Amino acid sequence: MRIAILSDLHGNLEALQAITDSWDELWVLGDLVNYGPNPAEVVEFVRQNATTVVRGNHDHALGHGADPQCSPAFQEMAQAMQAYTESVLTGEQKAYLRHLPATAEREVDGKRFFLCHAVPSDPLFRYGPRDPAFWAQEAAAVNSDILLVGHTHWPFILNVSTRQVVNPGSVGQPKHGRCEACYALWDEGNLTLKSQPYDVEATIGRLLALPVDRGIRSQLVEVLRNGSPPGANS
């Protein structure tokens, strides 16, 4: 079985299209929308192609008209872009996001997987540190061999006791210092982190044309170009 594992697509169509690996199944760990200029197209791609999808905090916010409870540096951007995203998604697309499960479990190639966006104890909102002790406690609370999480936009693989914790990073808005589409690939029992460069300037061009505040657009452009939160490289 060959599985592509994606998280935090954030309406970035160019980044999503840069992933050309073949797969038998596509799993998505949430946050299809917000921040990026093409949320409707990304939602439709996931609806048509993904086998297993869990709800992220931004999916929850769009589906329920709620606060995504994102980190302070992104709150203003999230609010402005949520208003834009709400204006371009159809009622059917919002209902799709609203009804996504918060967690999912799968068994493949003799391994048990637990999927959530953030952490098992708080699947939508909590930011988990890259700390093996933290993840050992979280992983021990679920019946799985491999725990798949997203939310922080930082790719990592941690071995904790007899379990693995894997964050594929972000497809659409990486924060690890490089503007590339990050994801993970499960291939016949082997799990690897992967990344692909994409046409970031095309995404930026779309962002700059959006009907949102110029300052918000500038911050979003900075995040995409630097692959890090606003002001991190200043």
128 within a domain of the structure (yes/no): yes
- Report yes or no on 234 lying in a domain: no
Mean residue pLDDT of the chain comes to 95
Q: What is the pLDDT of residues 160-184, one digit of tens each?
A: 988 999 999 999 999 999 999 999 9
When pLDDT is averaged across residues 82-99 and rounded to a whole number, the result is 97
d(C-alpha 6, C-alpha 102), whole Å: 16
Q: Is residue 233 a part of any domain in this protein?
A: no
Contacts of the segment 42-48: beta carbons below 8 A, 24+ positions apart: 42/9, 42/10, 42/11, 42/12, 42/13, 42/16, 42/172, 43/89, 43/93, 43/96, 43/97, 44/93, 45/13, 45/16, 46/9, 47/93, 47/96
Let me know if residue 231 belongs to a domain. no
User: Is pLDDT above 60 for 197?
Assistant: yes
Per the CB < 8 A criterion, the answer to whether 166 and 139 are in contact is no
Q: What are phi and psi of 107, to 5 degrees?
A: -125, 120
- For residue 94, name the pLDDT band (cuts at 50, 70, 90): very high
Q: Is residue 172 part of a domain?
A: yes
pLDDT digits (tens, 9 = 90+) for 39-88: 999 999 999 999 999 999 999 999 999 999 998 989 999 999 999 999 99
Q: Which CATH number covers residue 13?
A: 3.60.21.10
Residue 26 forms part of a structural domain: yes
- Grade residue 231 by pLDDT with cuts at 50, 70 and 90: low
**Which range marks the domain in which residue 127 is found?**
2-226
Q: What is the pLDDT of residue 232?
A: 62
pTM of the model: 0.96
User: For the segment 114-152, what is each residue's pLDDT rounded down to a tens digit?
Assistant: 999 999 999 999 999 989 999 999 999 999 999 999 999
Mean pLDDT of the 16-31 span:
97
pLDDT of residue 234: 39
Is 92 a member of any domain? Answer: yes
Total domains in the fold of the chain: 1
Question: Is residue 68 domain-resident?
Answer: yes
> Residues 75, 80, 82, CA angle at the centre, nearest 5°?
90
